[in-house]
Structure 1
Amino acid sequence: MRRDFLFGLVCAALVANSASAALANTDATEATKQASMTSPVGNYLAGRTAADLRDLTSASVYLRAALRADPKDQELLDRTFRTVLAAGDVEQAMSLAERVGSTDPNNRLARLALAIKAIKGKQFVAARTQLGQSPKGPIPDVVATLVSAWAWQGSGDVSRALKTADTLSGNELAEMFRDLHAGLIAGTTNNKAEAERRLASAYKLNDSSFVVVDAYARALANDGKTKEAIEVYKTLAQRMTRNERLANSIAALEKGEKLPPAAQNARDGVTEALFGFGQLANRGESAEIGLIYLNLALYLEPDHEFALLTLADLLETIGQHDEAIAAYERIPQNSAFKDDIGIRIAANLAMADRTSDAEAKLRDIVSKNPKDVDAIVALANILHRQKSYVEAAKIFTQAIDASGEPKKSDWSLYFARGVAYDAAKDWKNAEPDLIQAAKLDPEQPVVLNYLGYSWVDRSVSPEKGLDLIRKAVELRPNDGDIVDSLGWAYYKLARYDDATEELERAVELKPQSWEINDHLGDVYWKTDRKLEAKFQWLHALTLEIDDDKRGPIERKITEGLEPVEREMEARKAAERAQPSQQDAPRPKTDDRAEATPGKPAEAN
């Protein structure tokens, strides 16, 4: 970036930085409007802020506006190109890639993007030319090598394609991709023996990848080895119980139907290579490159089911819920995952604070399929978050009934219903559910913690409850919330020395928790460490805390612990005596008290 532009950024930073925070995270239309009224420096800062917030759509708008004001800034051009590509505007990104390539011939990503554009137009020589201009490093660029191999296949030179793929070596991942794509390339010429040999090698390196398993099974079936192909599919299906594509492929082979090769041409092969690496980068910390690979894959094959699912999941992971919904909605209507997709859309609506839309969508799904446990659970979770605890418990009951005979994995259903009953101050029904959850899976620390603390807090079975919490701490020793439960249980049993030890450790594990700091203040007060107690309470008030929790802590600082504690215990007893589903205080637990529906398409 040129010094004059940097100087302008420094001079304008104090003024523009606060504005950029306000500009970020708007939708594209609003961002475009704001960008037209903002200075180039302000647009740059807004773009960087939006990118930091993972709002890549807005970031691309602001950065493009900044670039129009300073089109020769190479660093800004490259940043804008990457952001626009990650945001999914691939056509615009291709135009920017041309500009990047003309001024920075060594830019690998720009060369890759232009090669992908050439592949889409079946210009295979042009694709290899673009990749040939990329700098050669000590470690081969696996994606570029695979694209080059497929470009040779597209030109009809399969021998050269295989030789290109075979240049990949040095680590298991590169070798897996080498053998996978060499097998797919061989399969395009119906060289069954070579395809099967290569794909068997890839399968040996990674038998848990759907892409590898699917390609190998199809090659086996194509060579007349249908039983072996079915067995390969079934082995993975035992681990990927939610992958409907596996079930459909097994059913097709059992009926004697043919399955086409996983890749039939260069475009298919390059799409799979890009998807494979996009899937590897499907994590928050590597979101940008993951989005780039997935968007390039979808540029070649807009209806690629797994690429769309992975893209939506990644967008959801980085908190871009509207974009995640849009990606889910792009998935073809005949998708094997259509039922799960509806649930994921509803989940993202809820996370985008569109709760009524999410609830309506889930009720529609459940009305059409009353046995869809995942949809029922998702609906119950939303009702619980809305503090409609009695209604949530009723819906969890529907999920439990639809699940049939209780299984170990059903612990979360009973636990979630128990928590809903308890929040509705219906301990009579809550306790059996919590006990059942603990019986179904005795190694779930969140259940042991909740049930154990509830027994201690209610003086029902305090010693037994303490044993459950101790076991929860053994299972999750570094969980500040659960260690806090143990300390608070000791406090309730007047074992103040033990309580001090555990609560001090809990604060070390989770120093940002107002509640743990408040508890530590209480035990300090009980052990005549009143100055330290007031310090802990004051510190609790500086942390993120709901307004209705401030009053009691402020009163403890001015009046002491005893009058506040007596009043709170009396109020708690009165609340338990008068069941109500609204605004019920939750007992000692953490935020994992919901049953969680699974995500579709376990394609990794």
Structure 2
Amino acid sequence: MWPTLANGRIMKNFFLGLLLVAVAHPAFAQTAASPASQSKRAQAYYHFSTARLLEEDGDWNRAIEEFKKALDLDPNNSLIYSAMAETYRRHNRRNDAIAMANRAIEADPDNIDAHRLLRDIYMIAITSTNGRQPNPQDIQRAVHEHEEIVRIDPTDRAAFLMLGRLYQAQNLPQKAEEVYKKYLGIEPDSEEGVLSLARLHIESANNQAAAQLLENFLKNRPDSDPAWAFLGEAYSNLSDFKKAADAYKHAVSLNPAEAQWTHAYAQALYLDDQLEEAAKVYQQLLQDDPKSGLTLLRLGQIYRREMKYDQARTHLENANRLYPDDLEVEFHFFLLDRDEGLLESALNRLNKLFKQTTRPNGRYSEADLVNRRMFLTHMALLNSLLGRHEQAIQAFRDLKAISPEKDRVDAYIVDAYRQQRNLDSALQHLQAAMKEFPRSRQLQMLHADLIAERGRVDEGIRALEKLNASGEPDLEVVSTMIGIYERAKKYEKAQTILDAAFGKFPGDQQLYFLQGALYEKQKKYDNAEAAFRKALEIEKDDPAVLNYLGYMNTERGVKLEEALEMIQKAVKSDPINGAYLDSLGWAYYKLNRFDLAEQFLKKAVRFAPTNATLYDHLGELYYRLGRYQQAADEWTKALRFSTEEEETDRVRKKLDQVKTRVANR
């Protein structure tokens, strides 16, 4: 214990003893000093010690006076300056504290107490801004003090880590990385050091480096729940959602109380299409917090994608009760209506969303524009499905006005005209668009395809060959050429193009798909199946390949159970694809599961209302069920949309036959 002060009198006798040891204190000692110098230093130490006692007794003003007397006797003593600075700091004399600490450092650049005091002052200034941006000068001063601290004391872990974070705040990631790596060289097993460097990598979009760092660390520290969570974040940023889900699963198992990680785990499962597992995790989160609007929304999304529409609607309605005007909830109601085939309701919801987000001044942020582009795209597609072609084209025109990819939108407009069988308007719009965007490869390919569809096959092919010769070989151009020859039933020429493509793009998955389709068109079914299965070896869940192979075998009446599974996967990936829905309905028909066949065939024609084959299939189902008038109605629609003579003749015969049955009933 220090001696106490009484009635303002200093116990001088006590300090007589201190004078004897004053020269032994490092800050006051002086080797081979003269007797006069030793006396001054002893007196300085007397005033220094007196100041300390006065401050402890609460008389800080007199303490300051004593510090000043000590400095008068020993003006270059760093210890006195730093102690005086600390006194000023404790009594909120910030500027005086800074001045004294700097004087201490001038006297002794290695005075770590003075550097730490300045560090504390600047860190308080940085973190006490009440939401405002901190003063960049304070950040730089804090950086300097941390740099000095780790120079003087390389074992100061906290200083190393804070220096790295300050460099990050200054947007100096390379310096931050150097500091963290230097620290890990001293403390290689430091969890905090690894997490700091991993966070830096993630924030710098260097997620692969973060993942590698964390994987190596977790080999020795598999019990580090934050490291697993960081690893999950890195893999999520890399779009490797399977690995992300595995990492988050470890984090949650180690620390189930961290709800944020459980949410991240559920989201990773959802993005990896592990919908059933994701639903289980979200249901558990919902039990913990029944009023979590986000959890209800995510469950609504999952059940919609699983085509459990009643459950999806229930969860969205619950979310809507919590957040009645939330635009995201409303948008998912639109998606649900659309996926169920409630197209009129879906369009009404979409129009409402579009109006709600319209700004009278016409000024939109980039995020707002992204949403409006998405809304207009959906509005165009829905209007097209509902047969409102002019409204669809107008929506595309509105989209073009705010889209950075205007030539792409022009291509949408051309396709919209083609769906109406209005090839003249399609060509007219395309020619105008090509004048506006003469270098657009997409429009040039579309133009070649369109003139070929109008019967000028050789001219279309020459245009594509010229386009392909102007640069690197383009698989999209090759695919368009093959499509033109297939449509013209010039299969040998299509095969020649395809053989050349295999030489330029060896092992490309799309080429095996194109090869399978070309064989199927020629009724070379075994060869087609081999090509499709080769494509699936490369990309096992490709929905287009799964659907094509599944439908081909369904038509042939072979491997029906496997075909059904393939088509179900395709539909799961795109539940509003009319062709996929038709394949599924047709597979159920072939398996005599007529209730499910009707459900999906009826839904298919909602999403592909101009496809004659779909109406033909629905007619076949109704005929098989003895519902002859409905069969006649569907075959009549099939005739309206049929474009191939062979198909037209086949459907007309069936229609004549069923009309006779209806008349004789």
TM range (shorter): 0.3 to 0.5
- Per the normalisation by structure 1, the TM-score is 0.41
Tell me which structure has the larger Cα radius of gyration.
2
- Per the normalisation by structure 2, the TM-score is 0.38
Larger relative contact order (Cα-Cα within 8 Å, sequence gap ≥ 6): 1
